[in-house]
Amino acid sequence: MNKPVNRKYLIATLFALSIILYARTLNYGFVWDDERIHLSNNQQLIKGDVKSFWLKPYSGMYIPVSYTTWAFVNTFSNSNKKISPKTFHTLNVFTHTVNCLLVFYLLFILFKNQTHAFFGSLLFLLHPMQVESIAWVSEFRGLYSAFFSLLALISIFRYLEKNAIITFRSFITSKYFIIACVLFALGLLSKPSAVVLPFVISILVWCFYKDKFKLILKGLAIWLLMVLPILLITRDAQPNELIYDSISFWQRFFIAGHSLSFYLYKLIVPYPLAACYGYTPELILSNKLIYLSTVFLIVTAVIVFAKRRSQPLLFSGLAVITVCVLPVLGLIPFEYQKHSTVADRYLYFGMLGFTLFVPLIANSIKKYNWLKYVSGSVIVIYLVLNFKQTDTWKNEFSIWDNTLRHYQNSPKVYYNRGVEYSKLGKFNEAINDYTQCLALQNDYRDALFNRANAYENIKNNTAAFTDYSAYLLIDSTDGSVYYKRAYLNYRSGNIQAAARDAKRAEQLNFPVGAKFKRMLEARGMQEKPLDTLK
């Protein structure tokens, strides 16, 4: 009989592989929302104003634990008031590495087989869909939430392992349950996606400890009291326009069917992957194949449910995957849905369900030896795809170039790349991207404003004037746009129009400089002083 590999070697292998795979990201910069929302432009975080994150939501989410940790890390990384990307990338890589080790320990408790636990955690570590959560600093939120959730899972299942006979009272008063409650709260306050944890625990208890299922279920019902406040705060922090009144419940059901089909397919065939897939509700509903995919899912679900007792791992794995992405399938509107209903990061914790298939694959290999080579080939392919996908997160251009190579249906992607071109002074390229963005969404105000700015920079004032005017037809309450148009009117010699726009800018609380007022008056073409014009 072969001697089992020392568990320490397996743990060391997972640790080393994680560092090797993701060490490249330490030299990557900030991208996307890192700069615009969460870190570089987050003055509360830069100033160390941790209290503000606990008092109210920030940027539509109440995640004070994540922001507190970022603020703490920033105190050690801030150099000359400039945040260091390397420090935050290191935090992401370290957190994912620890999560992989926690998955190994959890699977070992559940499977009672360290080989199965190793390959399950290996899958969690290197699956290409995990790359976004690790390489994108902003998604530390999801990594952190998963960290606390995995610790809570381990606490619950250690209790079940140590106690053959339990009662409801002994369970809810045990240190393991109390610790799990604290960890669950920390997970929720890191990212609300932890809301799925009680359901994941219930599924795993049903699969591995059926005799304790009902009792544990009663105990976990207490967690609903912890979930409700977070859900209400998050809902109230979301913009009102996210409520899709025009989309019926049944349409949302089909959107959810498409999204779940997407995740199940990408789990098996993780190519091509992108930062933004552009699958908005409107785009999904325009594809009639969503009805076929939803029907296929329902049939599959019925078959798997019917075989749940003979194939508990298959049923539980699919159930965990489904539960983990359920809040972001589209049944309930959420903020990012205006750009895409699906995203790789939403499946990070749900990858735990995919690891439950490892014993099934191992049993199949025993029957069919050739599957060993297929499984090995799949791992190698995943490694290669992981390496390629990690490369795409080097900078903004690599992210959006990769996305547009495969998906050209998101105005946000064209807009983001246009912004980067503008920063580099490549205004013609920026104009092309803003134009593509507006072709997909003609009322995209920021694209109109930025394209107008780009036109100004290449001295095409007529085109800039047209874009500013188009912007004001969509939103007539932006004083900065009136001011920009006032300046263009002044340059074209239309002083009266310039004065009216400047006056309107002031009425909308945009400060019009005294120098510009004097320039208007100096032209001697106003009938009245600027501050009296109507």
CA 479/CA 449 separation, integer angstroms: 12
The answer to whether the beta carbons of residues 34 and 136 sit under 8 Å apart is yes
Given this model, what pLDDT does residue 55 score? Answer: 86
84 found inside a domain: yes
Band (245; pLDDT cuts 50, 70, 90): low
pLDDT of residue 531: 44
Look at residue 2 and tell me if it is in a domain: no
Instruction: Render pLDDT for 185-208 as a digit per residue (tens, 0 to 9).
Output: 999 999 999 999 999 999 999 999
**Pairwise CA distance, residues 516 & 277, whole Å:** 45
CA atoms within 13 Å, Cβ hemisphere of 364:
11
Q: Residue 230, Cα to own-chain centre: how many angstroms?
A: 18
In a domain, 253, yes or no: yes
Note whether residue 273 is domain-resident: yes
Question: Measuring CA to CA, which residue among 403, 401, 406 is closest to residue 429?
Answer: 401
- Single out the residue of 96, 98, 88 nearest to residue 137, CA to CA: 88
Q: Which residue range is the domain that position 77 belongs to?
A: 7-397
Do residues 448 and 527 share a domain? yes
Residues whose CB is less than 8 angstroms from the CB of residue 151 and which lie 6 or more positions away in sequence, other chains included: 102, 183
Q: What is the mean pLDDT of residues 397-420?
A: 96
Domain boundary among 397, 414, 440: 397
- 380 and 404: one domain? no
517 part of a folded domain = yes
The model's pLDDT over 419-444, given as tens digits with 9 standing for 90+, comes to: 999 999 999 999 999 999 999 999 99
Average pLDDT over every residue of 461-478: 95
Same domain, 159 and 70: yes
Q: Do 382 and 404 fall within a single domain?
A: no
pLDDT at 1: 46
180 with 258, same domain: the answer is yes
Tokens found for residue 364: 């199949």
128, pLDDT greater than 50: yes
Total of domains in the chain:
2
What's the confidence (pLDDT) of residue 42? Answer: 81
Q: Are residues 426 and 381 in the same domain?
A: no
pLDDT band at 334 (very low <50, low <70, confident <90, very high): confident
pLDDT, residue 273, reads 97
* Residue where a domain stops, chosen among 397, 421, 453: 397
Q: Is residue 172 part of a domain?
A: yes
- The answer on 193 and 209 residing in a single domain is yes
CA gap 482, 286 in Å, rounded: 37
Note whether 370 and 406 are same-domain residues.
Answer: no
Residues 389, 405: one domain?
no
Quick one: 403 and 391 in the same domain? no
Kindly state the average pLDDT of the residues 395-399: 95
3-state secondary structure 439-472: HHCCCCHHHHHHHHHHHHHCCCHHHHHHHHHHHH
* Distance (Å, whole) CA 160 – CA 291: 42
Residue 341 and residue 476 share a domain: no
Look up the CATH number of the domain holding residue 508.
1.25.40.10
Decide if 463 is inside a domain. Answer: yes
* Cβ-based neighbours of 241, under 8 Å, separated by 6 or more: none
Residue 533 is predicted with a pLDDT of 38
Domain C-terminal end among 335, 369, 397: 397
Rounded mean pLDDT of the chain?
Answer: 90
Q: Let me know whether 315 and 412 are in one domain.
A: no
Is 1 within the bounds of a domain?
no
How much is the average pLDDT of 407-429? 95
Is 102 or 292 the better-scoring residue by pLDDT? 102
